[in-house]
Structure formats: C-alpha cells, structure tokens
Amino acid sequence: MVKQERAARTRESLVRAAAEAFTDEGFATASISGISGRAGVTSGALHFHFSGKDELARTVEGRAAAALRVVTRTAGEPGGRAGNPLTLLVDSTYTLMALLAGDVVVRAGFALSADVTHRSQVDLREQLRVWTGELIEAAGRQGLLAEGVSPQQATPAVVASIVGLEVLGAADPGWFAADTLTRIWSVLMPVIAADHAEGGAEGRETD
C-alpha cells in the first residue's frame, strides 16, 4: 500500500511538472529531463510511469477536459444543473476563470489543444464553443435574448471573450480575475439579454 501511494504521488508530481513545462515552454521545447527535474525524480523514474512526453501531454489534456466537463455540466446531463441558461453561462465562466487561475494542469490542457507542435487529442476551446452555443440557443428558445439578437450573433461574441481571457491569462493571470470578467459581462449582458433575463454578473463579489 505504501509503495502504491508513493507511485501515485510520483505520477501526480510528474503530471503537474509536465503541465508547468508545457505552459512555460511549450510542448516542443519541454524536455523529459526538464520535466523530471521539476518533479524531483530521475528520467528513468519518469519513463517507469509514462512512455514519454506524448503520453504526459495526453494525460494533462485528459485531466483538463474532465475539469471542463464538470464546469460546463448543464441541465439534461446526469448531475447537471437546471435554471436560466444565461445565469448558468455567467456563473460557469467565473468557475472556469478561477480554475484556470488556480490549476496549471487546466491551463496547460488549453495550451496544448492549441499548440501546433503537438497533435492534440481534444479541442477544449471547441468544447467551450459548443457548450456556450447550446446555452445561448436555449436562452433564445426561452425568450431570454434581447429583441433582434440571435444565438448566431451572441455566441461568437461570448466565446471570443471567454477564450480571449483564457489566452491572455496564460501570460498574465490578472486576466483571470473575477472583476475583469464582471466588467466584460456588464458590457455583453445588456446587449444580448432581454431586460427580464439578466445573467447575474451585476453585484458579484470581486476579488
């Protein structure tokens, strides 16, 4: 049992070290020796747990994708949340920004999915786009969008804002701050939401 626990800790250290390396250096530049050094283990120990850099990247992406699925779980899914789809969208973006700020594995997963030097197994930004579009379409069906605003108009603006924060935050974590997101929603929501369907960004506590 002690040996299994030690092995699990080593794997976790390697995944986190790989995420840090991929975030700081990019997939192509990150090296096995550098990752193992960050984790405080030998390269041989790394290869005992992972076949190489590609498997580490797939593991990081898988962890990030799982975290994103939790954030974007909506009504109709097992354990999903019901309610106003615009409120759900707004609330979930705050959760996502906090996750990006606090979890290097999630940040690395997004970076890897857009890294042209790595053959990614997932497209986290596309998953985010699809989910955002589904919620805005649901809002449209419920009459929650402003008059003259269609899901096809609203979705790109919201997706570009969320992804823009994810990209900018990779270099400057200040972009992940709740008050930054609040300012963005305070501009977007009055444009896309009907008066009776405010998404809830106003009045949020900021850090």
Over residues 87-114, the pLDDT tens digits come to: 999 999 999 999 999 999 999 999 998 8
- Residues 110-155 have pLDDT tens digits of 999 888 898 888 899 999 999 999 999 999 999 999 999 999 999 9
- Residues 28-64 have pLDDT tens digits of 999 999 999 999 999 999 999 999 999 999 999 999 9
pLDDT for the residue 169: 94
pLDDT for the residue 179: 96
User: What's the pLDDT band for 78 if we cut at 50, 70, 90?
Assistant: low
Tracing tokens 């009459």 back to the chain, one arrives at 143
DSSP 52-118: SHHHHHHHHHHHHHHHHHHHT--TTSTT---S-HHHHHHHHHHHHHHHHHH-HHHHHHHHHHT-TTS
pLDDT for the residue 121: 82
- Structural contact between residues 74 and 177, judged by C-beta atoms closer than 8 angstroms: no
pLDDT for the residue 203: 45
Partners of 145 in beta bridges: 193
Task: Output the CA–CA distances (angstroms, integers) from residue 96 to 28, 64, 65, 106, 178, in the order listed.
Answer: 27, 11, 12, 9, 10
The per-residue pLDDT of the chain, averaged, comes to 90
Q: pTM here?
A: 0.87
User: What's the pLDDT band for 202 if we cut at 50, 70, 90?
Assistant: low
3-state secondary structure 156-181: HHHHHHHHHHHHHHHHCHHHHCHHHH
pLDDT for the residue 206: 44
